[in-house]
Amino acid sequence: MATEQQSNIAILGAGTIGRGFAVAFAAAGHSMRLYDPDAAQVDAAREQALASLASLAHHGLLDGAPEVIAARITPATTLAHAVADAALVQECGPERAEVKAAILGEADAHAPPHAVLASASSALPASAYAADLAGRARCLVAHPGNPPFLLRVIELVPAPFTDTETVARAAAIFTAAGLHPVHVAREIEGFVFNRLQGAMLREAYALVRDGIASVEDIDRIVRDGLGLRWSAVGPFETVDLNTQGGIAEHARRLGPAYARMGAERGQHDPWTEQLVADVVRQRRALLPLEDWSARGAWRDAAIMRTLAARKAASD
């Protein structure tokens, strides 16, 4: 019997995300079947997967020979064959509810009873296309970043009808594939990844519209400023480390300015005392204030390593 470490995976849809998942799972030692009604997509996916694996190997990020790892990706000529012995079915078809409903319906009919049925949907929740399936309790969204073999997080979003056991099994399989599961408490459009991305994109569009900055300069501010820090720490840890006294002091000093910026855009999501207290409690549990200076030095060193890698790449 296959262990969790070597679970068989079925990937349905061999476009951008299906290819990325194929590389991530193969690199982690899983064997898989890749299905797409357009056979040319499967051929192109296998070719591109080999190129991505070779590139990972070139950067010292692959354990094993690219050709051996790529051989774990087997084409399937029918969806039924692809899912026949899968522990995880990862749906990567078009972002259309009726197409996802059809794909998952067929997967539900042919996958073994223990298989988890996950959709890579970017914004559509599982309840928009899996509610009528007999096996709906084993359906959920598993939303990756692109490409999944580089961005090592996956959002697990259960529908109201998803079994907690399904979420746990999905989390174990993705963890074994080196993807860190993020549990999204309930269905919400765009989940967390795209809501965060969306907040920034909405502001970026508005700044361009109002003639405040160019597209190039906004990308530069993120690439060489905000994003450089975010490659080491997230937005909460960023402001926690930016202000002596931590995030509580940051909220006290700058909360009103951020509230005014939000109000300018018609947004009213106040950082209430209670909300700030909750954020502070979570941050202090992760980083006691006595370790604050050491963590700041760690962040700086992490940014220095990124800058050194960028410099080496441009030399």
Amino acid at site 10: A
User: What count of Cα atoms within 13 Å lies in the side-chain half-sphere of residue 98?
Assistant: 0
Alpha carbons 25 and 72: distance in angstroms, whole number: 9
Of these, 9, 10, 17, 62, which contacts ligand NAD (CB under 6 A)?
17
With CB under 6 A as the contact rule, which of the stretches 2-10, 52-60, 114-122, 240-248 interacts with ligand NAD?
A: 114-122
The reply to whether 125 sits near ligand NAD by the rule CB under 6 A is no
Q: Which parts of 36-75 interact with ligand NAD (CB under 6 A)?
A: 36-38, 41
Amino acid at site 182: V
Q: Cβ contacts of residue 241 below 8 Å, gap of 6+?
A: 233, 292, 295, 296, 299
Size of the site for ligand NAD (CB under 6 A): 23
The reply to whether 255 sits near ligand NAD by the rule CB under 6 A is no
Cβ distance to ligand NAD smaller for residue 43 or 95 = 95
Could you tell me the two tokens for 258?
């951020």
Residue 34 CB coordination number (10 Å): 28
Please give the distance of CA 44 from its chain centroid, rounded to a whole number: 23
Q: Cβ contacts of residue 111 below 8 Å, gap of 6+?
A: 10, 83, 84, 86, 89, 117
With CB under 6 A as the contact rule, which of the stretches 9-17, 131-139, 174-182, 295-303 interacts with ligand NAD?
A: 9-17
Residue with tokens 């906004």: 218
The reply to whether 198 sits near ligand NAD by the rule CB under 6 A is no
The reply to whether 278 sits near ligand NAD by the rule CB under 6 A is no
In whole angstroms, the minimum distance from the beta carbon of 260 to ligand NAD comes to 33
Of these, 9, 11, 14, 176, which contacts ligand NAD (CB under 6 A)?
14
In whole angstroms, the minimum distance from the beta carbon of 29 to ligand NAD comes to 23
With CB under 6 A as the contact rule, which of the stretches 7-15, 156-164, 247-255, 299-307 interacts with ligand NAD?
A: 7-15
Q: Which parts of 76-105 interact with ligand NAD (CB under 6 A)?
A: 92-95, 99, 103
Strand partners, 109: none
DSSP codes of every residue in 192-245: THHHHHHHHHHHHHHHHHTTSS-HHHHHHHIIIIIHHHHTTS-HHHHHHHHSTT
Alpha carbons 250 and 97: distance in angstroms, whole number: 42
In whole angstroms, the minimum distance from the beta carbon of 133 to ligand NAD comes to 15
Of these, 125, 144, 158, 181, which contacts ligand NAD (CB under 6 A)?
144
Of these, 18, 125, 158, 246, which contacts ligand NAD (CB under 6 A)?
18
In whole angstroms, the minimum distance from the beta carbon of 108 to ligand NAD comes to 14
Of these, 31, 48, 74, 122, which contacts ligand NAD (CB under 6 A)?
122
Cβ distance to ligand NAD smaller for residue 41 or 306 = 41
14 SS3 class: coil
Alpha carbons 249 and 211: distance in angstroms, whole number: 33
In whole angstroms, the minimum distance from the beta carbon of 196 to ligand NAD comes to 14
**In terms of Cα–Cα distance, which of 141, 165, 144 is closest to 153?**
144
Q: Which residues bind ligand NAD (CB under 6 A)?
A: 12-18, 36-38, 41, 92-95, 99, 103, 120-122, 143-144, 146
